[in-house]
Amino acid sequence: MERGEYLTKIMEDKGFNAMSLSKSSGVPYTTIRSMIERNLTNASVDNVIKICKVLGVSVETLNKPPKNEKVSESRQVFEFIDKIINLPIVGTISCGNGVLAYEDIEGYENVPESWTRGGEHFFLRAKGDSMINARIDDGDLLLIRKQDTFENGEIMAVMVDDEAVLKRIYRTDGQILLQSENTKYPPRFITDPSKIRIIGKLKMNFIHY
C-alpha cells in the first residue's frame, strides 16, 4: 500500500475527506490532494504534523503502512524526520541561586527532533503585546534555545526582576538595552549586569491555525 493510499484509508476510517480534513487542520485542500497523489513525497513537516493531530495518529504510523501490504520502494517521504519529541511549554521560569528552573509547565508540544539540534530547547508562552511588530502576539508559543550569549539585535528571552521577558537585545556603552517591538513601550537600559540573566534565543514562533 502506497503512503497516499494509506492516508486516504485513515481519513475514511476517521470520517474525513480532503475538504473536511482541510477545514479541521488548516492545511489547504489542494495541498492535501497533492500529498495523497504524490504519496507524501516532499511533504512539509508542519503540514504532516497538523494532519496527524487531526486524524489522531502519529507521524510514525502514517509513515509505515501495514506490514502485510505492499510498501512503496520510495523511502523519500519522511527521511528528514528522525523522530517526534515532546518539549515542555513553560509558564514560569525561576532563577534561584543562579540556576534556571522551569515552573508551571502547562503541557507539552510535539515537534520534529531536527528542530532542536544544537542545544536544549523549550517553549515559552508569549505574554502581552510588546513584540507585535515582530509578529509575536499574546499567547503565541515561542521555541527557545537555551543559551547565555547573544549577538546585538537578536530576540532573546531574559530574566529581569524575576520575570522572563522577550526583547530585542543590544550591548552598548557598558549597558544592555532591551528593545520592545511596539512603539508604546520605551527601551529599557540595564546598567547592573546582576539584574539580568540571559535565558535563550528565540528560534521560532510556533503558530497553530
User: Is 167 a catalytic site residue?
Assistant: yes
Write down the catalytic residue from 22, 25, 167, 180: 167
The amino acid occupying position 113 is E
CATH placement of domain 84-206: 2.10.109.10
Q: Look up the pTM and report it.
A: 0.60
The amino acid occupying position 155 is I
- Cα gap 208→25, rounded to integer Å: 9
Write down the catalytic residue from 130, 180, 195, 203: 130
Q: Where are the domains of the chain?
A: 3-63, 84-206
User: Could you tell me if 88 and 116 are in contact, meaning their C-beta atoms sit under 8 angstroms apart?
Assistant: no
User: Is 25 a catalytic site residue?
Assistant: no
Tell me which of 1.10.260.40, 1.25.50.10, 3.40.50.300, 3.90.1720.10 is the CATH number of domain 3-63. Answer: 1.10.260.40
User: Could you tell me if 63 and 87 are in contact, meaning their C-beta atoms sit under 8 angstroms apart?
Assistant: no
Task: Compute the average pLDDT of residues 115-130.
Answer: 86
* Res. 19: pLDDT tops 80: yes
Q: Fold identical between 3-63 and 84-206?
A: no
What tens digit of pLDDT does each residue of 3-15 get?
888 899 889 888 8
Please name the residues in contact with 103: beta carbons below 8 A apart, sequence gap of 6 or more.
90, 91, 92, 93, 94
What tens digit of pLDDT does each residue of 152-206 get?
999 999 988 778 889 999 998 889 999 999 999 999 999 987 888 899 999 988 8
